[in-house]
Structure 1
Amino acid sequence: MKINVLFVCLGNICRSPMAEAVFRDKVSNAELSDQIQMDSAGTGHWHIGKPPHEGTRSILMKKNISYDGIRARQINADDYKNFTYIISMDDANVSEVEKLQKGKTDTLYAGKLLDFHPDFDGGDVPDPYLTGNFEEVYDMIDLSCTNLLAWIRRRESI
């Protein structure tokens, strides 16, 4: 059975596509691409179909991480049936995601990415669309994704 991970932020052009790309790179390096799939979505509709923000693309290129194929989309109620793990970037995203659940879920876990960061447990990933601090956000996402993958591997015995 495939494990499906969805990363969620507000517009799906900065944080969640960065997390998707970083996580995809870690999964590939762990040779688990046949077992774990990932995607990203936004709670808002403003950027549907657009590629990641220039700042996200720039930091990913600098780190030699591919963002090929990533395009903004809006989260929908079916995502609760299709994703094992839904990982949001902040409390506002968690609230919006919970509104879509409506009692139907195959999701085993829905929470925040920084729940997997030792220094920012339970915190929000700041939105670089507003702050411009893509490097700081990358560092937070990178370590959180490392720990998320380790947690999923333990939980799923892979």
Structure 2
Amino acid sequence: MKRISILFVCMGNICRSPLAEGIFGHLVAEAGLIGHFRIDSAGTGGWHEGDPPDRRSVATAKSHGIDISGQRARRIQPRDFTDFDLILAMDRDNVAALRKIAPPEAGIRLFGDIALGTGEDIPDPYYGGPDSFELVYTRLLTGCSSLLETLGVERASCSGNTSSVR
């Protein structure tokens, strides 16, 4: 059965999208579904390519038992639009930037639409303090949990398994 591939995207791939990648990966591992998902993150800009996530993102994730320190920032590549089933942008500016360079069939969605159901942007915490990063973590955790539940249930029903992911 085909794995579901998800790419989380923010502007520089050092704050929001690495957190989303780490949170979703952690939830997938806890649910025992590692082989069912391919998870990555990228930025619409390349200013930080090769750099680790922002130290505040690393610290926030670590305080919740998630290690994102091994991730490295990268810029979105043309192949990402065909390699990933779902590309989740953190805000409307990211969605607009992606749509300018993506083929029409690319699965670009706003994280706040598909994962939270609220249509909200995930705010960029870069210029804020620890509370800004904690707020982003909380919104991402809520959305990633919901997303995994939805995708996990869909995957289970496709395979004939009636158990749900919790």
Give the Å deviation of 1:59: 0.6
Partner SS, residue 131 of structure 1 = coil
Q: Paired residue for 1:114?
A: 112
Give the Cα–Cα distance (whole angstroms) in 1 for the partners of residues 56 and 26 of structure 2.
18
Mapped to 2, the partners of 1:65 and 1:102 lie a distance apart of 34
Q: CA RMSD in A?
A: 1.5
Deviation at 1:131, TM superposition (A): 2.5
Where in structure 1 do 4 or more consecutive aligned residues deviate above 3 Å? 154-158
Contact 2:48–2:74, Cα closer than 8 Å, also in 1: yes
Q: How high is the TM-score relative to the length of structure 2?
A: 0.86
SS of the residue corresponding to residue 39 of structure 1 reads: strand
Counterpart mapping for 1:68-87 below 5 A: 68-87=69-88
CA contact (8 A) 2:90 2:122 kept: yes
TM-score normalized by structure 1? 0.91
Q: What residue in structure 2 maps to residue 65 of structure 1?
A: 66
Using the alignment, how far apart are the partners of 2:63 and 2:70 within structure 1? 18
* 1:1-158 map, 5 Å: 1-103=2-104, 105=105, 107=106, 109-115=107-113, 116-117=115-116, 121-132=118-129, 133-156=132-155, 157=158
Following the alignment from structure 1 to structure 2, what is the Cα–Cα distance between the partners of residues 53 and 12?
Answer: 9
Q: Say which is worse superposed, 74-83 or 7-16, in terms of deviation.
A: 74-83
| Contact 1:25-1:66 within 8 A present in 2 as well | no
Which runs of no fewer than 5 residues in structure 1 stay unpaired?
none
Shift, 1:68, TM fit: 4.6
SS in 1 for 2:51: coil
CA distance in 1, matches of 2:42, 2:76: 5
Work out whether residues 128 and 137 of structure 1, in 8 Å CA contact, stay in contact via their aligned partners in 2.
Answer: yes
Report how many aligned residue pairs link the two structures: 153
In the alignment, residue 111 of structure 1 is paired with which amino acid? R
The CA deviation at 1:150 is 1.5
Unaligned runs of 5+ in 2: 160-166
Residue deviations 1:3-25 (CA, integer Å, cap 9, x gap): 11000000000000000000000
CA deviation string 1:7-54 (max 9, x = no partner) = 000000000000000000001111111110100000011000000101
Q: 2:163 is matched with which residue?
A: none
- Partners of 1:70 and 1:45 in 2: CA distance: 15
